[in-house]
Amino acid sequence: MIDGTLALAPGHDRGQLVEALTATENTPTLEKFLQQRPAMLDSAGRVLYRAYSLALVQMLLEPKDGAARLAQYIGRLSDASNDPLTDLKAQFPFLRSDAEETWQSSLHQLRNFQAYQLLTFAESERRLGELLQVKASEANRPPKLTSVAELAKRKPSANEKMTLNDLSHELLVFVVQANPVLRPIAREYGEIAALLARGKRRGIVKCLSRLETTHKQLASRMSDIDDYMNWFEATQMKNGSGNFTDYLKAIDQSQLSISKRRDPLTVYVDALEDQLEN
């Protein structure tokens, strides 16, 4: 479990783990994996064990309440029984129906993880915005949508602290998928959420203000870059992607249709233009 959590941490290169998992034809059942003792494995087996651990942690974090349940599960490991699979099912209800199928699906997803599957900047922006709009609920009250910035201005309730703790874990998972340009921003939001979950608010409002300013500047710069690349492709590249072909063709046709007008005024203007050019 610790190996999987560390592998999921920001800045950790998971390429070696994915390669090890991809090169393995026979994967253990979830029950067999949970009974493995990493200290008894050789170096190659240790790498593979970390890959399985990463798949396990990702699987357990998948449900909305996965982060909270995982924290509770780790906290109770000292009281665990000799049947780790039963303990896991007791803490994670979604595994009770078909734990093995869910486990194999998680391994399959990790095997197919590739760099090109990373979110684009726009997709990362949209997903980050969704995550930062947290839904906190209080006893006998309907869930209320709020933001991290709002929670930083006051002392969060116990339920709000749990929500912030879940958010910090969700942002940790999101960093893996986010566009690399946006990762430092998402990582810092996760750290802020973790601090607020522990009741530490000193300097957080100022930190959030700085982070939001940086975030907006980054988004603006990326938008400028995107606009420039579109302009460059449309006007400067000899071999474009074809995305602007219809647009440029429409302009040419509109200009052509204008030049074909034969009314007296147009004929006079065209003749005058030819004289000036010559």
Rounded CA-CA distance 37/60 in Å is 20
Contact in structure between 138 and 168 (CB atoms under 8 Å): no
Say what the pLDDT of residue 233 is. 63
Contact in structure between 17 and 47 (CB atoms under 8 Å): yes
Say what the pLDDT of residue 73 is. 86
Say what the pLDDT of residue 264 is. 57
Rounded CA-CA distance 79/87 in Å is 10
Say what the pLDDT of residue 262 is. 58
Rounded CA-CA distance 48/42 in Å is 10
Of 193, 192, 195, 189, residue with least CA distance to 175: 189
Q: DSSP class of residue 153?
A: T
Residue 134 φ/ψ, nearest 5 degrees: -90, 150
Rounded CA-CA distance 182/190 in Å is 13
Contact in structure between 156 and 97 (CB atoms under 8 Å): no
Rounded CA-CA distance 72/84 in Å is 15
Say what the pLDDT of residue 86 is. 92
- Compute CA distances 276 → 54, 105, 272, whole Å: 73, 73, 6
Of 176, 185, 143, residue with least CA distance to 61: 176
Residue 172 half-sphere exposure, CB side, CA atoms within 13 Å? 23
Task: Tell me the average confidence (pLDDT) per consecutive run of 10 residues in the chain, 278 residues long.
Answer: 68 71 84 89 87 88 80 83 90 90 86 62 86 74 76 82 85 80 86 87 87 86 74 62 58 51 57 56
The amino acid that residue 244 corresponds to is: F
Say what the pLDDT of residue 180 is. 75
Tokens of 266: 């147009």
Say what the pLDDT of residue 258 is. 46
